[in-house]
Amino acid sequence: MKIAITGGTGFVGTQLKEKFVQEGHDVYILTRSPRKYKGTNQVTYVGWLKEEFHPEKELPVLDAIVNLAGESLNSGRWTEERKQSILESRIKSTEGVLDLIDALPEKPEVLVNASAVGYYGQSKTKTFTEETTEPGNDFLANVVEEWEARASQAAEKGVRTVYVRFGIILGEEGALPKMTLPYKMMIGGNLGSGEQWMSWVHIDDVIGLVHFAIQNKDIHGPLNGTAPNPKRNKDFGQTLGDVLNRPHWIPAPSFALKAALGDMSTLLLDGQCVIPKKAMASGYTFHYPELQAALSSVLNK
For 225-236, what is each residue's pLDDT tens digit? 999 999 999 999
User: What total number of domains does the chain contain?
Assistant: 1
**Residue 150's closest CA among 92, 102, 220, 110?**
92
Q: What DSSP state is assigned to residue 78?
A: -
CB 86 within 8 A of CB 139: no
Q: What DSSP state is assigned to residue 64?
A: E
Domain enclosing residue 72, as ranges: 2-300
**Residue 267's closest CA among 192, 201, 170?**
192
Check the CA dihedral 159-163-164-166 and report its sign.
positive
What pLDDT is stored for residue 74 in this prediction?
82
Q: Is the pTM of this model over 0.85?
A: yes
C-beta atoms surrounding 236 within 10 Å: 24
For 88-129, what is each residue's pLDDT tens digit? 999 999 999 999 999 999 999 999 999 999 999 999 999 999
**3-class SS of residue 234:** helix
Chain mean pLDDT for the chain: 96
What pLDDT is stored for residue 16 in this prediction?
97
Average pLDDT over residues 57-80: 92
Helix axes 176-184, 233-244, angle to 10 degrees: 70
Residue 288's pLDDT band (cuts 50, 70, 90): very high
CATH of the domain at 29: 3.40.50.720
Beta-ladder partners of 201: 169
